[in-house]
Amino acid sequence: MTPIFHLLHLCLALNLFLLDQVKPDPDPLQDYCVANPKPALSFYTNGAPCIDPALARSSHFSTSVLAMPGDTKANPFGFNVTLTNTLNLPGLNTMGLTMARVDIEANGLVPPHSHPRASEVIICLEGSVLVGFVDTSARLFTQKLRVGESFIFPKGLIHFIYNMDSMSPALAVSGMNSQNPGAQVGSVAMFKSKPLIPDEVLKGAFQINGQDIARIRRNLGGSLF
């Protein structure tokens, strides 16, 4: 083979390798796998087991769960995220999809968090939000979104959504490429884990003292997560 041919082969192999890295959840092996909330036997699968396809109805693929605002007063940050899942939208099972309704009160914050299994695309539907993510070299990418504008949070990277407006609430909707994206809120994982991370670890990690740790834990409250 000529050197140019070798180069083409290398490019092709590299391309296939890269394409392989951007898959969402595994592809379904049938048209759909409507989640069965009460399987006859208890066993574990990667995703929920499905109902008999002959029993599938249009309503399995539909939900009104995102029509209602969540309660933004239930946590100290002033936000609420309502998610689709295999219980409220059983037709999404195995499709590699989740939708989220994000309500944020005036000056409310969806605190820095990450989704270990999904990239996310967010669209601002009411108000305006400041969004951003930090990459693995600690570089911040941030943008102010007005109504109709969108932003991407790459898979696994820490990101936030902040309503800068002190008068009006904001509403955003996001899509994620996993049916179970998972969410890890940085401050909660560090300071409110069960059991707690030893103080000595937090003192070292954040260069703070025992009073600082106690104050942060108190301020984060006990009601959430």
Residues found near ligand NAG in the complex (CB under 6 A)? 70-71, 74-75, 80, 224
**Nearest to ligand NAG of 47, 169 (CB atom):** 169
Please state the closest distance from residue 16 (CB atom) to ligand NAG, in A.
Answer: 41
Q: Compute the least distance from the CB of residue 77 to ligand NAG, in Å.
A: 8
- Nearest of 133, 154, 74, 138 to residue 108 by alpha carbon: 74
DSSP symbols for 24-52: -SPPPSSS---B-SS-SS----SS--B--
d(CA 89, CA 72): 23
What tokens does 183 get? 């969410």
In the complex, least distance from residue 160 CB atom to ligand NAG, rounded to whole angstroms = 15
Please state the closest distance from residue 34 (CB atom) to ligand NAG, in A.
26
- If one counts every other C-beta atom within 10 angstroms of the C-beta of residue 85, the result is 17
Output the CA torsion 140→194→225→122 (10° steps).
Answer: 30
DSSP 212: H
Nearer to ligand NAG, 51 or 122 (CB): 122
Q: Give yes or no for a cis peptide into 195 (omega within 30° of 0).
A: yes
Q: How far is the CB of 85 from ligand NAG (least distance, A)?
A: 14
Nearest residue (CB) to ligand NAG, 95 versus 185: 185
Alpha-carbon gap, residue 90 to 63, rounded angstroms:
9
Of 75 and 98, the one with the shorter C-beta distance to ligand NAG is 75
Residue 13, SS3 per DSSP: helix
Query: In this complex, which beta carbon is closest to ligand NAG, that of residue 113 or of residue 155?
Result: 113
